[in-house]
Structure 1
Amino acid sequence: MKTGTTGLGAQWTTWVPVVAAIALVLGWGRHLPGLAVTLVGLCLVGAVLAAVHHAEVIAHRVGEPFGSLVLAVAVTVIEVGLIVTLMAGGGAKASTYARDTVFAAVMITCNGIVGLSLLVAAVRNRVAVFHAEGSGGALATVCTLATMTLVLPTFTTSRPGPEFTSSQLTFAAVSSLCLYGLFVAVQTVRHRDYFLPVAREGQRSDPDEHAPPPGVRRTWWSVALLFVALVAVVGDAKLVSPTIEGGVESAGLPKSVVGVVIALMVLMPETLAALRAARRDRMQTSLNLAYGSAIASIGLTIPAIALASIWLPGALILGEDATHIVLLTLTAVVSALTVVPGRATLLQGGVHLVLFAAFVFLSFSP
């Protein structure tokens, strides 16, 4: 990450988010032809790369673990807005949209991002090191939130089907919000040192880490451009979703595949940022991004959906089926075995990637 004095107006990371946002405004609510969809797709990729850059600028200014928190929360807040918007206009077919999106986010972060980051870190340094205390606490929070909101509705009996009653949904929403707030307090205040990158003995210092932090003006510019870029990422992903839906329907694939593809696009900024951190032997930052995104995805989405369900039409189905419950359980067990030692090798990265591949494959072929 470079934080020098290069003119902000001359950097592509300044104008690409603006162009992507303009494409979003021009294309919103319209049927886009093939060429337009291609251009929007290019804008989407550019906005993702720009978002990662500006998140790193902010992270360099505020330090870890606040930097990881900024990107995770920003993406999740905008993603929640997208879910509520789609559910409001989706009718009965949108009853599982929140569940599918949140579960996809958990599998992508806990297996896809973690697996790729471990692979990159282990290839470069043989062994990836991180704080077991911080990562273990974050993983425990993810597992608790996922079980309470995605598994329990399948087994409750007060209402038929994988649904919560109003009181049960309220309890899940309040509990999720409280756990999220507690995690943020522990991560940023009380036990902040558990979430800082591990320094190896004799390790060469990272030149980016000791570079002068960006000024206040540039930091605020990056905050504004990060917001614009993330809005463009989520909005442009929505614009290309009809094309994806058409392709999925033509191929005879399950509709849940659309949610997986959209989640993959929306989580691209966290993925790239985590891989960059792993490449610089900052595995703890990668885990902060992965688990922090999963916690934010559940801890902010469920309360927002619970509140929105007051006026949203149709049922709200949150309970997962047996296949996804098995995948979630296996992910929890494997993740615990990965983070408890505080060290991981290529093997752990490969196991997580196989679990992620299983999730993607079973999404296409349930």
Structure 2
Amino acid sequence: MPRRPLSTAVAVVCAVAALGAAAANAPAATTPRTRPATATAGVELETWLYPGSPGDSQCSAPTEYADNRVRNGALKPEYWTVTGKGKVSLETVAGGLCNTYSAGDVADIKAHSAYQYPTVSGMTTADVHALVSSSANRSAAVSQLTSLVTANGLSGVDVDLEDYWSWSAADFGNYRTFLGQLAAALHAQGKKLLVDAPAMTGPASFYDYAAVSAEGVDELEIMAYDEEYDTAPGDRCLPITPLAWLKQVTQYAQSQVPDPSRLVIGLPSYGISAPDPCDLDDITGNIQYSAMRQSPGFSTAPATLAARRDPSSGEIRWVSGGTLYDYVDSTALDDKLAVLTALGVTKVSVWSLGGGNPWFTG
């Protein structure tokens, strides 16, 4: 879940590699906003939440899922991080952060969801390499992750190891080995393995959906957002998730993982800001709605929202003082979900809870 801005090097690689795809996904192929009366009918919902210091907006996540929006779905709190030495570190409430591991937190997420998949997060190539390249680190992590979810009666583990674009072929091979080992250990305890994967519209040298899925992954979760990092130089930043691009990403994923029960598409619920024209080095991502409301020119007036709604994505976009603002509201979420349900997607995850981020309308 690339909720933290990509590094400069990665952003440049993404932009150069995808200029053709970005141009092909221009607003010409707009998807009509048609959706069922109950937008989420027939869809199993999942959502991520992540740690914060007391008073941080992400700490409101429990009050948001308390409405049972995923009572029949899954909650995925980030309980572990990968350290620079390749160790898996458990984040607990004793460290002073919200949305972290404790007996009380486990009881709360279990009370408000059918499934619980705590996340292990590694955001840099160096951290991922340190974990997956060492057999000792892999074994220790597998034991630690499996033991905690088994002891607490949780459903499994969500693996979010990122910075894919900078991995070597050896890193990807060792990553697959780690996933296979973790899947075997979890399955032996009746638990499941979920794996977060980058959004792609076709084959790529750095990641292979089918190969990863074949390691015993129960759900491959495609993070279909942050397309703004693929903006061509000199252009206005692309939307977070253009509808035509979302369709391409989903169709390619389905071609590699055809079983709908094993494929999850991740949708965004957050905002961004960026210079206009776009500067990939200066994009601010993962802006929660509570902060977006403080942006210059923000408005909830229906006429203003209608004028600002981007037909290619459903998102609310405007420029003020040379800065582009873009966020996903409930209507935009519904629009994106309509694309997915029309393609037969039955599982959807949302990044993220906290800060009053919008949810689906029904």
Is the shorter-chain TM-score for this pair beyond 0.5, marking a shared fold?
no
Structure with greater strand percent: 2
TM-score (norm 1): 0.25
